[in-house]
Amino acid sequence: MKIDSHQHFWRYNQADYGWIGEQEQVLKRDFLPSDLAPILSSNQLDACVAVQARQSDSETQWLIELANDNSFIKAVVGWIDIAADTLSEQLAQYASHPVLKGFRHVIQDEPDANFMLRPEFIRGLKVLAKHDYCYDLLIFAKQLPQAIELVKSIPELPIVVDHIAKPEIAADIGFAQWQTYMQQIADCPNTMCKVSGMVTEADHQNWQAEDFQKYLAAVFDAFGPQRIMFGSDWPVCLLAAEYSQVKAIVEDFVKTNYPQQFAAIFGGNAQTFYRI
């Protein structure tokens, strides 16, 4: 099964999607399963993982409903108040929804640099592990030191780093430090990495495929091909590229450097991580 491990759905409104700015008009519309299905088909993909785009319980419920109505959505990564004292009780309401595989918090937008290291947040992540959920880690490259500490503190929780931790590809700065930190987080055996979200960290109008080669090489060196999964980050990727272009960047790299692991990177690893 060929799987896109990272994409989003939404019914656009300004209140819920305030992060979509005036320069991002292409995203100011609805993006639903009926929009994605033909794109997956034309790109020879069979299924997807729907990831939260709003930080609300209603988002999680809505994504579960979409998955129940669209069989190609094989997994949902929702949102939940991880630091809540009532987390176990909140999780109980989802026990009858096996398509819900994990959760994510938009840590990249938290003003507190140590947000993810708060005791109550770490406690909540340990609760997720006890309930057999996984976790998508959404951070900027500058947050990698805290992320490494976090990951080391919860070895029992499967964690995937979204968007290769968003290095500054457009400015092409900080590569060596990012590479070092990515190796350190990859040294934790409970981690995987999504090669996703790269085009939106590059120059939206002028990127070239070669801009991503050293980043891909560094991630593959750090994690190895059995711990990497392809994700489109559709529709956010449309800010800088069409779906087919995003796929081609990773596909060409894998076919050139890791052809025997193609099936794993474009599906098998996501199946394992999300228990699809």
Per-residue pLDDT of 61-97, as tens digits, reads: 999 999 999 999 999 999 999 999 999 999 999 999 9
pLDDT value of position 16: 85
Residue 113 has pLDDT above 90, yes or no: no
Q: What is the mean pLDDT of residues 24-28?
A: 93
The C-alpha atoms of residue 236 and residue 22 are separated, in whole angstroms, by 14
Q: Is the pLDDT of residue 17 over 90?
A: no
Give the span between the Cα atoms of 34 and 22, in whole angstroms.
Answer: 26
For residue 150, give both structure tokens.
């976090």
Q: What is the mean pLDDT of residues 158-163?
A: 98
Closest by alpha carbon to 5, among 223, 187, 202, 275? 275
The whole-angstrom separation of Cα 64 and Cα 55 is 15
CA-nearest of 196, 188, 83, 77 to 133 is 77
pLDDT band at 217 (very low <50, low <70, confident <90, very high): very high
- Please report the pLDDT score of residue 20 as a whole number: 87
| Cis peptide, bond prior to residue 158, ω within 30 of zero | no
One-letter amino acid for residue 173 of the chain = I
In a 13 Å sphere around the CA of 276, the CA atoms on its Cβ side amount to 26
DSSP alpha helix (H) spans, the chain: 33-42, 57-69, 87-92, 119-130, 144-153, 175-186, 213-223, 243-257, 262-263, 269-274
Q: What is the mean pLDDT of residues 225-245?
A: 98
Query: Of 16-25, 68-77, 129-138, 181-190, which gets the smallest average pLDDT?
Result: 16-25
What is the rounded average pLDDT of the residues 242-252? 98
Q: pTM surpassing 0.85?
A: yes
Taking the C-alpha atoms of residue 25 and residue 203, their distance in angstroms, rounded to an integer, is: 17
Question: What is the structure's pLDDT at 137?
Answer: 98
Domain residues of the chain, as ranges?
3-274
Mean pLDDT of 144-162: 98
Hey, what amino acid is at 239?
Answer: L
**pLDDT for position 162:** 98
Query: Average pLDDT over the chain, rounded to whole?
Result: 97
Q: Span 3-274: which CATH code?
A: 3.20.20.140
Give 166-209 pLDDT, tens digit per residue: 999 999 999 999 999 999 999 999 999 999 999 999 999 999 99
Partners of 269 in the β-ladder = none
* Predicted local distance difference test score (pLDDT) of residue 233: 98
CB 53 within 8 A of CB 59: yes
Output the pLDDT for position 18.
85
204, burial (CB in 10 Å: exposed 0-12, middle 13-18, buried 19+) = middle
pLDDT-based confidence at 21, cuts 50/70/90? confident
Q: How confident is the model at residue 22 (pLDDT cuts 50, 70, 90)?
A: confident
Residue 276 CB neighbour total at 10 angstroms? 17
Residue 257 is which amino acid? N
